[in-house]
A and B are shown apart, each in its own frame.
Chain A
Amino acid sequence: MESVEYKCPNCSADLKFNPATQKLDCEYCLSSFTVDEIKNICANTENSIPEEAVQMKEEFENHTQLYRCKSCGAEIMADDQQTATFCYYCHNPVILAGKMGGEFKPDKIIGFKLTKENAISSFQKWIGKRWFVPKDFKSQQQLEKLTGLYVPFWVADCSVNVDYRAIGKQLRSWTSGNYRYVETKEYRIVRNCSLLTKGIPADGETKIDDLLMEAIEPYDYKELKDFSMSYLSGFYADKYDVDKAQVFPRIRVRSDQACKNFVKSTITGYTSVSPSVEQFNIMNTNWSYMMLPVWFMTYKYNDKMYEFAINGQTGKLAGTPPLSKSRLAAVCGAVGAAVAAVIILFGGALF
C-alpha cells in the first residue's frame, strides 16, 4: 500500500503542519515550508496537485488510507504518517484496514490555527471554573488525549424564498375618569423576499455529536484553502459517513431558523405579532465538502462517555463537563450544615 509522506527536502525527516505558522515544519533541521512550496516539491506524490479530476481522484485513493477500529468500529482517514495510532473515540489501537474511495476527497480545508498547547490552555481555562469535575479529568494524562482531528463537513449555501404574513397589534392605553381605555391598531404585515444563507455546516460524521459540532461554530471561511493532503500531516482525519442527502434536513432546519430570525428582526414596534403564513422554501442549494479542524477529547466517567471539542481555528470550546456528584454533594452538604449551624447557634437553641 502506498503512502503519502512529506519529507524535508533538506534532511528527509518527516514534515508536520504547524498551526501557528501555517507551514510545514521539520523538527530536526528546523526548515519550514509553505503548503504551496511543498505542493511543488512533492508534486509526484501529492494527490491534490494534478489538475485533472480523474487523476486527482486516483491519486487521492492511492495516498489515503482507511483504518477501522476493532473496538468501536470508527473509521478514520489519515495519511501514511500515522501508521500506528489510536482511535480518537475509544483510544484503542486501530489497524490499517484498507483504502478510502476518491469520492471522499474534500473540496476545501481550513488548517489548524490553534496549536495543541493553545488548545490545552483553552481547555484548562474552561475547566478551571468548574470545581466539581473528577480529579483525574484535569490530569496531564487526560490533557494528552486532546487530539487534533479534521472533521468532514458538508457546507450548504441555500437560496430561500420567504413568504411571511402576520397580523401585528399595537396597543396604547390611558385612563379617563373611572375607565381604562385601550386602543388597538391592527396591521397586516407582509414580508416576501429571497434570502441566501451562506455556509451552514453540518458534520458528515455519525460518531461525533451533531450538537457538539454546532456548538463550536462558526468557522471563518475566509481562511478556506484548496484541499491538500499536507494539511493532514500530524493530525487525524476522518471520512464522511453521512452523505449530503442525509444532512439536508439538519441544514434545512437551521436555514429556516436563520430566515425566521431575520424576518422577525424586520418586524418591530408591535405589542404582539400573530403569523398566518410562514413559508421558507429552499429553491437551490450549493454544496461544498470540506475538512474543518477540531481539537477533540473524550473522557469516560461512570460508564458514560463525555466528548469535548475545540474549534481548531477560533478556539471556541464546547462539551459537557463530567460532574463528580459525590464531591458536589459533600460541598453542598457542608454549606447546608454551616447554614443550619449558624441558624441553630444564633437562634439560641444551644443556650
Chain B
Amino acid sequence: MKKTSNALKVFLCIIAIIAGLCLADYLIAFHTGSENRYVGFDGDFSNSGIIDENGIFDDDPQTLSELGDLVRDCSKKLNMNILIFLPDSSRSAYSDDDVRDFTANKYNAVFGENTDGLLYYIDISGKSPACDDIAKSARVSLIFPDSTCQSIFSILDEYLPPSYGPVYPEHITNAITNFCALLESYYNSNDISGYYHDSTATPPVYVYEKGGKTYVTTSKPPMLKLIICIAGELIGALTALISYLAAKSRYKFKSKTSPSIYLSNENAKFIERSDTLIRTYVTKHRIQSNSGGGGSRGGGGGHSHGGSISHSSHHR
C-alpha cells in the first residue's frame, strides 16, 4: 500500500515536472524574442527594373525599356522589388564573395534593408567562370529557396552563353523574359515553411513566418527555439539520469575478499607440471581492400552587409 502510494507520488511528480517544462518551453519559444525588423514591400515598383552597367543595350534602348517594363510588371504582380543588374568589365576581377557582397549592398542601397525583393546579377563582366547571383531579401528568401533558384539557373542556362563565349543582347533579352516568367511560375507565397538564417548580415538575422506574418529578427524562430529547449531538456535529463545511476552505484555492497590470499606458493607441491606442444598449423585469408572516397570542401565568404539577404549563385 505504501509502495503504491510512493509510486503514485513519483508518477505525479514526473507528470508535474513534464507539464512545467512544456509550459516553460511554450513561453520561451513563443513569447520571447527581439524586435521585428521586417519592412516588406511598399507597393512602389518604380525602382524595379534593369541596370545596364555593361551598356549591352546602348544600341537598343527600346528593348531595354521594354524589358524594364516587363520587370516592373512582374514586380507589381509578385508584390516585391526586382532588379536585374548587368555588370561591366570592371567587375570581372570580382571573386564569388565579392559578387555576393556587391549584390547584397546594391539591393539594400536601392530598395532598403529588410524589404521584399531580389536582385538578379547576370555576370556578363567577362569573368570566367561567370558567377550569376540572385540576392534575395526578407520574405523572398523563403518564397524562392536555393533549390528553386538553382532550378531557375538551370533553365536560364539555355538562354545565356557560357562565360568564354560572346554575349549578345538577344541572350540577355531571352534570359530576362524567361526569368520573369519563371519567377511568376515558381511564386507561391502560401507555401512558405522553415526559416532562413543570414549569418553574414550585421547583425545576423533569422527570417521566418509565424501566423501569416513575416519576421526578420535577431532571435531564432519559435520552432527552432522549441527544438533547442527540448534538446537541452533531454540532455539535462540524460545527465541527471547518468549522474543518478553513477552515484547510486557507489552505494552497492563492496565485493568480497578473494580467497587466493589463503593459498601461498610454499603450500603448493607439483606432481606434474607440463606444457607440451601437440600441433602447429597455419591458416591464411585474403585481405579485403577498402578504398575511401574523396571529400568535398566548401567555403563561405567573409563579406557582410545589412538587412536579411540570402544568395543563390551559379557558375556558367
Q: A interface vs B, CB < 8 Å? A: 130, 132, 167-168, 175, 178-200, 211-212, 214-218, 254-255, 257-259, 261-262, 266-267, 318-323, 328-329, 331-333, 335-344, 347-351
B238 cross-chain contacts in A, Cβ below 8 A: 336
In the complex, whether B287 has a CB less than 8 A from a CB of chain A is yes
Q: Is the CB of A344 within 8 A of B284?
A: no
A228 to B219, CA, bound (A): 83
A339 to B232, CA, bound (A): 7
Q: Is the CB of B262 within 8 A of A328?
A: no
Which chain B residues (227-267) contact chain A, with CB distance < 8 Å? 228-229, 231-233, 235-241, 243-244, 247-248, 250-264, 267
Q: Is the CB of B278 within 8 A of A186?
A: yes
Q: Is the CB of A132 within 8 A of B247?
A: yes
Which of A185, A191, A318, A319 contacts B280 (CB under 8 A)? A185
Most buried by B among A180, A211, A349: A349
Q: Is the CB of B257 within 8 A of A320?
A: no
> Which residue on A lies nearest to B253, using beta carbons?
A320
Q: Is the CB of B235 within 8 A of A179?
A: no
Looking at the assembled complex, report how far the CB atom of A350 sits from the nearest CB atom of chain B, in whole angstroms.
6
Q: Is the CB of A347 within 8 A of B268?
A: no
Interface of B: prevailing SS:
mixed
A344 to B250, CA, bound (A): 31
A192-B272, A218-B261, A332-B243 known; A343+B287 contact, CB < 8 A: no
Q: Is the CB of A191 within 8 A of B240?
A: no
Q: Is the CB of B228 within 8 A of A182?
A: no
Q: Is the CB of A193 within 8 A of B236?
A: no
In order of increasing CB-CB distance, the 4 nearest A-B pairs are A336-B240, A340-B236, A343-B232, A196-B267
A181-B284, A261-B260, A339-B235 known; A349+B220 contact, CB < 8 A: yes
A254 to B263, CA, bound (A): 11
Looking at the assembled complex, report how far the CB atom of B18 sits from the nearest CB atom of chain A, in whole angstroms.
13
B247 cross-chain contacts in A, Cβ below 8 A: 132, 328, 331-332
Interface digits, B261-297 against A, CB 8 Å rule (1 contact, 0 not)? 1111001111111111111111111110100000000
Which of A168, A214, A331 contacts B256 (CB under 8 A)? A214
New A-B contacts (4) at CB < 8 Å, excluding given A185-B279, A198-B267, A211-B253: A132-B247, A257-B260, A329-B244, A351-B34
A320 cross-chain contacts in B, Cβ below 8 A: 251-253
In the complex, whether B110 has a CB less than 8 A from a CB of chain A is no
Q: Is the CB of B228 within 8 A of A344?
A: yes
A320-B251, A328-B248, A349-B229 known; A188+B287 contact, CB < 8 A: no
B251 cross-chain contacts in A, Cβ below 8 A: 130, 132, 320-323
A180 to B237, CA, bound (A): 48
Q: Is the CB of A180 within 8 A of B284?
A: yes
Looking at the assembled complex, report how far the CB atom of B274 sits from the nearest CB atom of chain A, in whole angstroms.
5
> Which residue on B lies nearest to A329, using beta carbons?
B244
In the complex, whether B225 has a CB less than 8 A from a CB of chain A is yes
In the complex, whether B174 has a CB less than 8 A from a CB of chain A is no
In the complex, whether B28 has a CB less than 8 A from a CB of chain A is yes
Most buried by B among A192, A319, A332, A347: A332
B150 cross-chain contacts in A, Cβ below 8 A: none
Q: Is the CB of A195 within 8 A of B278?
A: no
Which of A183, A188, A259 contacts B276 (CB under 8 A)? A188
Q: Is the CB of B236 within 8 A of A200?
A: no
A211-B256, A340-B236 known; A193+B271 contact, CB < 8 A: yes
A266-B273, A343-B232, A349-B229 known; A183+B259 contact, CB < 8 A: no
A333 to B85, CA, bound (A): 59
A339 cross-chain contacts in B, Cβ below 8 A: 232, 235-236, 239-240
